[in-house]
Amino acid sequence: MTERKGDWWQIAVPEKWEGKTIEEIFRSEWEAPKKLTHTFRMEKKVRYEGTEANWNVPLTAGKRLELLLFQEEEILVPPYYRDIEILYEDDHVLVMNKPPFINTHPNDKDDVETLLNAAQFHMQANGEMRNVRQVHRLDRDTTGAIVFAKHALAGAILDRILVKREIKRTYIALVHGLLKQKKGTINKPVGRDRHHPTRRRVSPSGQEAITHYQVLKEDYTQHVTYVKCWLDTGRTHQIRIHFSHLGHPLVGDVLYGGKPIADRQALHAIKLEFTHPFTGEKVVCFAPFTDEPVIFKDIDVYQI
């Protein structure tokens, strides 16, 4: 059982932590960074049974452990008001449905009209005076589910499970042409294109990039295909590059050879799944389509 008590987060020590020390919980269970762990220890941000915790004493299942997670911080992210759709939220995590034509995070100090800034406004509007933390990103014109952390420890744990590929992100893309294979894996390294400032390309010297896909539906009239994709890696523009390389660029993706029959590249992060860093519960978020006019026609988001 876990609950918030003011600035403190309270947890009944679970059976699996029996006999482990707080030091071991931070190091092995959460794999928290050493610097952050040191801060919790030095600033006395952990209590056990209501008193300052001894980090080296074995814990007993059912006893009360408390962490100072929700105290106010100096706000470093300028808030920016924008109406945003919340897919999931609790004291630790915020999942939003990213609209198109907005950056995930600032690219320079003057770039404050981003999703990160909008998330910061949302937190402050709800009285949470802490810096929101970006966990992953979506391209400016890509839409769908994206996760942010609401405090430093949640951010560190989510960063770690992202690296370990334990945050599963499922996309839907609309590509030109009809694919020969109805399902498959594209394993082609991706690197920078030396001849273009923002474009990437398949390159033998690039970073490993693996995209799995499955055809959902074919539109023979428009000569396009709806494809479900999921990634083992998260390279910039990965899905866009891989399908362009196959000869099936995304609809609307003029940077990689798509035709401008949509006002953006037809890519949507439709589903996001992860194990909650503190409760251990499975979190599954589905992101409804928001495009007007509609890009992804007759696709049931909740059946992906």
Catalytic residue positions, numbered = 139
Q: Tokens for 74?
A: 């100096």
Question: Is the Cα torsion angle 246, 247, 249, 254 positive or negative in sign?
Answer: positive
Q: Tokens for 162?
A: 């992202």
Q: Tokens for 78?
A: 């300028």
CB 137, CB 145: distance < 8 Å: no
CB 145, CB 87: distance < 8 Å: yes
CA within 13 Å, CB half, 77: 27
CB 1, CB 9: distance < 8 Å: no
CA within 13 Å, CB half, 263: 9
- Which three-class secondary structure string do you get for 14-50? CHHHCCCCHHHHHHHHCCCCHHHHHHHHHCCCEEECC
Task: Classify 122 as helix, strand or coil.
Answer: helix
Identify residue 27 by its one-letter amino acid code: R
Q: Which residues of 152-181 are buried (b: 16+ CB within 10 A; e: fewer)?
A: bbbbbbbbeebeeeebebbbbbbbbeebee
Reported in sequence order, the residue ranges of 93-249 that DSSP labels E, i.e. its strands, are 93-98, 133-134, 143-149, 168-176, 183-187, 190-192, 200-202, 210-219, 224-231
Reported in sequence order, the residue ranges of 130-167 that DSSP labels E, i.e. its strands, are 133-134, 143-149
